[in-house]
Amino acid sequence: MSLTDRLRRERVIAIIRGTDTKAAERTVHILREEGIALIEVSLTTPDAAGIIARSSREAGDTLIGAGTVLTGDDARAVQQAGAAFVVTPALAEGSLTAHALGLPVVAGALTPTEIVRAVSEGASAVKLFPASVGGPAYLRSLREPLPEVPFVPTGGVDADAAHAYLEAGALAVGVGAPIMGDAPHGGDPDALRERCRAFLTALTRHREGE
């Protein structure tokens, strides 16, 4: 199954951006246990490549990807670590290198020009970032001339915003703090489990309303 198909099925990429390696790795395990199947580990997290490598070995059907991939060296490092996909915050060398290496890319873009370029460079989906700048109304406007682009709005997306973006035609959403809280920094793992369940429940309600 392609990354685009998985995004369509799962509807959410959970984004881990932490300051504590052990806590971030524990967060990956908890997300998997709670049923979140697309997980992005930002390279701003200490030992992100190591977390990806160790987590990927036991990931099963879960896809562990790398986020904040900016350079060609970043892309090569995460490929060696076993990343299943790459996410970039903007159009950068990292997205081109990852695509050349055969990794699916969710490329960051905001303007129509950037979005068209991301698609032309082979992105599997476009990370609309920061989505909070324009909100769901902006996504609707973009989809009028670009209806075939698979958008993944990211930035300031909580459960309510996720519903609004999906209603506006997003393929999936990227979600960080509203699910993670302080878990990747050493926070309460039980609270993380509760947030995961609440978010997945909200997604289920959205699917039932489609």
Number of helical H runs and strand E runs in the chain: 10, 7
Distance CA 118, CA 210 (A): 29
Distance CA 79, CA 85 (A): 9
87's tokens: 């996410």
At 28 the three-state DSSP class reads helix
Which member of 22, 93, 127, 210 is catalytic? 127
Find all residues with CB under 8 Å of 181, minimum gap 6, and list them.
Answer: 187, 188, 191, 192, 195
Task: Give Cα separations from 141 to 10, 47, 120, 152, 203 (angstroms).
Answer: 24, 39, 20, 15, 23
Which member of 40, 58, 148, 167 is catalytic? 40
127 given a catalytic annotation: yes
Distance of CA 113 to the CA centre of its chain: 22
Instruction: Point out the residues that are catalytic.
Output: 40, 127
